[in-house]
């Protein structure tokens, strides 16, 4: 087996995949092995999704344990599962053993349960126990993204002593950004950044240079909160402790970047009414399967709009021209609601609304709602009068626009907050279901006002 040793070169996945495909088809002995030995394992991982299942398997077989680990970590779960399934258990145990524990646990979690047990049995006891512990935590929690691979030392060890310890043991580089100081019960009492360690005198004990009682989280802390803390305080890594304050592991900054990318994708996917899988898969069927449920739910919601219009068929027959402004009212109520819900969803994600009451969140939006509703109401009234050729229609359209935008804006900030408080992902509030319900509400306002005003004007 040859290990890819190439350095990162900003190659595109398509480019790497094309070269691999050509080498595989050439049937020249060693051509594929020679080629991939020149690539960085991450470049190979990124090319995997562009390759056929057969080419993937051929490439994966040529990688050593370390490179295989990187590839398994980087590819989508769909591809990872295929590769894991095709690899024999002895080799798999070797690959997983070579991975940082948090990454290894992610890989093991993709295996069927009986295979998980057999693999763990082939791994040295200490590490197998570690993996089993990591597997217990929920994927979206601090415990699920932390690594147990941390450097911990007692407070009386010297800076020089820790550096020598690091040299002797085989720790992953990501674990080296911060050394944790623990007491004899392994309770976390301090932290020393690698910078402080290098700047310290050789004989200084850790307790003289450590930051006391560093910020820590519990394994069940949500990953969004972990990201907020690491981002806010620019931490190189965030320790995870159990209920007794004992150090379990740490979340490192590279994991935080992954979570940020994943959460950004998920939030956008919710707004769009699909799932992150839609983005990652190349299968049209999987794409469609991710989208159809949301579309059917919002189709059902849109029948409410149809029902509202049917209910006002008398009004509509009296003035068919009013139909022309149906899409104007629904679009604007939807757009203003989406503005307000998106801002609220993002504020929640950034932790800006912690400790703020529901009332205060909505109240802040009242002046905003009044300003934009007035501007749009006036413009719509003018346009309505002109397009429909009657000032009384302008009055109806303008008043309905004003009310619909006020309602859209205020509900847009209220709904995500309520969702977040009852444990539903607030991003769903910007999604198609809520938006389509908003349509029906705005039509109720529009035709309610139209029916009322037409009666007044014609009496």
Residues between 35 and 64 with contacts to its own copies, criterion CB under 8 A? 40, 42, 46
State the binding string over 165-184 for its own copies (x if CB under 8 A, else -): -xx-----xx-xx-------
Place of tokens 């002995």: 29
State the binding string over 120-149 for its own copies (x if CB under 8 A, else -): ------------------------------
**Region near its own copies per CB under 8 A, out of 55-63, 111-119, 366-374, 414-422:** 366-374
Site membership for its own copies, residue 302 (CB under 8 A): yes
The answer to whether the CB of 146 falls within 8 A of the CB of 138 is no
78 burial type by CB count under 10 A (0-12 exposed, 13-18 middle, 19+ buried): middle
CB of 355 to its own copies, least distance (A): 4
Q: Which of 84, 417, 439, 454 binds its own copies (CB under 8 A)?
A: 439
User: Hey, how many other C-beta atoms are within 10 angstroms of the C-beta on 195?
Assistant: 11
The one-character DSSP state at 6 is P
CB of 129 to its own copies, least distance (A): 26
Expressed in angstroms, the distance from the first to the final Cα of the chain is 90
Number of residues interacting with its own copies: please give it, by CB under 8 A: 123
Angstrom distances, CA of residue 164 to CA of 168, 172, 204, 381: 6, 15, 14, 77
- Edge-to-edge strand ranges of the sheet holding 211-212: 151-153, 178-182, 188-193, 211-212
3-state helix, strand, coil in the chain (%, to 5): 70, 10, 25
C-alpha 360, offset from chain centre: 28
State the greatest distance between any 2 C-alpha atoms of the chain, in Å, as a whole number. 96
Q: In whole angstroms, what is the distance from residue 381 CA to residue 395 CA?
A: 6
Q: Which is nearer to its own copies, 323 or 424 (CB)?
A: 323
CB of 151 to its own copies, least distance (A): 11
CB of 365 to its own copies, least distance (A): 8
Q: Which is nearer to its own copies, 215 or 424 (CB)?
A: 215
The interface with its own copies within residues 231-250 (CB under 8 A) comprises: 231-235
Site membership for its own copies, residue 455 (CB under 8 A): no
| E strand or H helix at 178 | strand 178-182
Q: In whole angstroms, what is the distance from residue 395 CA to residue 401 CA?
A: 10
Q: Which of 58, 279, 358, 453 binds its own copies (CB under 8 A)?
A: 279
Q: Which is nearer to its own copies, 87 or 302 (CB)?
A: 302
Q: Which of 24, 350, 361, 453 binds its own copies (CB under 8 A)?
A: 350
Site membership for its own copies, residue 222 (CB under 8 A): no
Site membership for its own copies, residue 257 (CB under 8 A): yes
Site membership for its own copies, residue 436 (CB under 8 A): yes
Site membership for its own copies, residue 403 (CB under 8 A): no
Site membership for its own copies, residue 14 (CB under 8 A): yes
């Amino acid at each position: 087996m040859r290990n890819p040793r190439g350095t990162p070169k900003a190659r595109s996945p398509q480019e790497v995949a094309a070269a691999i495909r050509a080498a595989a088809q050439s049937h020249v002995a060693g051509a594929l092995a020679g080629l991939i030995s020149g690539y960085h394992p991450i470049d190979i991982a990124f090319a995997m999704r562009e390759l056929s299942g057969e080419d993937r398997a051929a490439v994966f077989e040529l990688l050593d344990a370390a490179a295989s680990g990187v590839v398994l970590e980087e590819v989508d779960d769909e591809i990872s599962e295929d590769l894991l399934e095709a690899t024999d258990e002895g080799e798999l145990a070797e690959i997983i053993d070579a991975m940082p524990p948090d990454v290894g646990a992610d890989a093991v979690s993709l295996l069927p349960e009986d295979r998980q047990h057999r693999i763990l049995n082939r791994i040295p006891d200490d590490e197998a126990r570690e993996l089993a512990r990591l597997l217990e935590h929920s994927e979206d929690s601090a415990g699920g993204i932390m690594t147990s691979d941390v450097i911990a030392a007692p407070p009386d060890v010297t800076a020089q002593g820790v550096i020598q310890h690091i040299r002797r043991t085989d720790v992953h580089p990501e674990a080296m950004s911060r050394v944790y100081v623990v007491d004899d019960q392994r309770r976390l009492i301090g932290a020393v950044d690698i910078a402080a360690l290098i700047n310290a005198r050789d004989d200084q004990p850790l307790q003289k240079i450590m930051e006391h009682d560093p910020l820590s989280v519990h394994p069940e802390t949500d990953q969004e909160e972990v990201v907020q803390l690491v981002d806010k305080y620019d931490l190189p890594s965030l320790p995870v402790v159990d209920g007794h304050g004992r150090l379990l592991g740490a979340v490192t900054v590279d994991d935080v970047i992954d979570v940020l990318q994943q959460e950004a994708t998920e939030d956008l996917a919710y707004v769009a009414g699909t799932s992150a899988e839609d983005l990652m898969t190349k299968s049209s069927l999987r794409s469609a399967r991710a989208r159809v449920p949301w579309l059917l739910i919002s189709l059902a919601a849109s029948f409410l709009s149809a029902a509202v219009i049917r209910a006002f068929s008398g009004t509509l027959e009296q003035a068919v021209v009013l139909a022309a402004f149906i899409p104007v009212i629904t679009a604007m109520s939807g757009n203003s609601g989406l503005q307000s819900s998106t801002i609220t969803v993002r504020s929640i994600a950034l932790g800006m609304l912690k400790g703020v009451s529901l009332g205060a969140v909505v109240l802040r939006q009242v002046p905003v709602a009044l300003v934009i509703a007035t501007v749009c109401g006036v413009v719509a009234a003018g346009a309505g009068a002109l397009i429909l050729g009657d000032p009384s229609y302008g009055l109806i359209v303008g008043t309905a626009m004003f009310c619909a935008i006020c309602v859209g804006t205020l509900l847009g900030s209220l709904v995500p907050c309520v969702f977040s408080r009852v444990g539903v992902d607030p991003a769903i509030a910007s999604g198609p279901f809520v938006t389509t319900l908003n349509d029906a509400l705005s039509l109720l306002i529009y035709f309610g006002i139209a029916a009322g005003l037409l009666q007044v004007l014609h009496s």
